[in-house]
Amino acid sequence: MASITAIAKEFFAACETGKGWEACKAYCTPNATFAAQAEPLAEIKTLADYTDWMKGLMTIMPDGSYEVKSFATDTERNNVAAYGVFSGTHTGPGRPCEPTGKRRPRITSM
CATH for 49: 3.10.450.50
Q: Quick check: helix, strand or coil at residue 65?
A: strand
pLDDT tens-place values along the chain, 110 residues long: 689 999 999 999 999 999 999 999 999 999 999 998 888 899 999 999 999 999 999 998 999 999 999 999 999 999 999 998 999 998 888 666 777 777 766 655 55
| Phi, psi of 103, deg, nearest 5 | -95, 130
Q: Which residues pair with 109 in a beta bridge?
A: 83
- The residue range of the domain holding 43 is 4-109
Total structural domains within the chain = 1
CA angle (11 as vertex; 8, 12 as ends), nearest 5: 85
Q: Quick check: helix, strand or coil at residue 82?
A: strand
The pTM score is 0.83
